């Protein structure tokens, strides 16, 4: 069984989180039945942008990184305090632990920024939300920012906005299973 940890900061974008939940869930039911996703946050109740709440399976302090195969991080909105959690020591430490254990890390949109702040993207290619402010922030973390919708560098996926969310989730599924399996799930989901 491949286990994915969905790491959520308060202010996360629900759509970007939901694609990981759905793609891994569809794979569990209709694909090769090999993926299970777990939600993690700094608090048990994690409030999204637009004020919806998701309940965490794990608190950050409870996670044993060795039990997971991949980390998924959606972006979020600054006005909903996304960066307060996403740039916290605990959040950044979790990202570094996944990287140190050579796990796959997938992010969407502004989810690339905590990867950059953690230092794991320094000297690597990446992308983030297509605003000058966000792209400059990622560049200031030592990342070679590319003008591409999705960038993969050394088992790390970054992308530039919500429109890339499904693509990132399917890439993660492919990296965890096979291209054939990911294509099967993609077709079953109507993509």
Grade residue 2 by pLDDT with cuts at 50, 70 and 90. Answer: very high
Burial class from Cβ neighbours inside 10 Å (0-12, 13-18, 19+) for residue 144 reads: middle
pTM above the 0.85 mark? yes
CATH classification at residue 54:
3.40.50.880
Smallest CA-to-CA distance from 69 within 166, 175, 178 is with: 175
Question: pLDDT tens, 94-111?
Answer: 999 999 999 999 999 999
Count of structural domains, the chain = 1
**What was the pLDDT predicted at 67?**
98
Grade residue 176 by pLDDT with cuts at 50, 70 and 90. Answer: very high
Distance CA 76, CA 81 (A): 8
Q: What is the DSSP letter of 123?
A: T
Report the share of the chain in percent with pLDDT over 90. Answer: 100
Grade residue 168 by pLDDT with cuts at 50, 70 and 90. Answer: very high
| pLDDT, mean over the chain | 98
Q: What average pLDDT does this structure show over 21-29?
A: 98
190: number of CA atoms within 13 Å, CB side? 1
Q: What average pLDDT does this structure show over 5-23?
A: 98
Distance CA 148, CA 144 (A): 12
Distance CA 89, CA 9 (A): 12
Question: pLDDT tens, 54-93?
Answer: 999 999 999 999 999 999 999 999 999 999 999 999 999 9
Q: How far is CA 88 from the centre of its chain?
A: 16
Which domain does 28 fall in, by range?
2-188
């Amino acid at each position: 069984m491949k286990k994915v940890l969905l790491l959520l900061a308060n202010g996360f974008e629900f759509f970007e989180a939901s694609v990981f939940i759905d793609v891994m869930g569809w794979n569990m039911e209709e694909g090769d039945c090999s993926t299970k996703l777990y939600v993690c946050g700094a608090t048990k109740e994690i409030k999204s942008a637009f004020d919806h709440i998701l309940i965490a399976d794990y608190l950050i302090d409870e996670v044993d990184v060795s039990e997971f195969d991949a980390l998924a991080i959606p972006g979020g909105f600054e006005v909903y305090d996304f960066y307060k959690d996403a740039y916290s020591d605990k959040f950044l430490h979790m990202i570094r632990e996944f990287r140190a254990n050579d796990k796959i890390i997938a992010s969407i949109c502004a989810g690339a920024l905590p990867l950059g702040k953690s230092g794991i993207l320094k000297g690597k290619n990446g992308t983030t939300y297509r605003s000058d402010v966000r792209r400059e922030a990622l560049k200031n973390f030592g990342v070679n920012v590319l003008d591409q919708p999705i960038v993969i560098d050394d088992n790390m996926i970054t992308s530039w906005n919500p429109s890339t969310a499904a693509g990132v989730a399917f890439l993660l599924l492919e990296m965890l299973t096979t291209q054939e399996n990911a294509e099967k799930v993609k077709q079953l989901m109507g993509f």
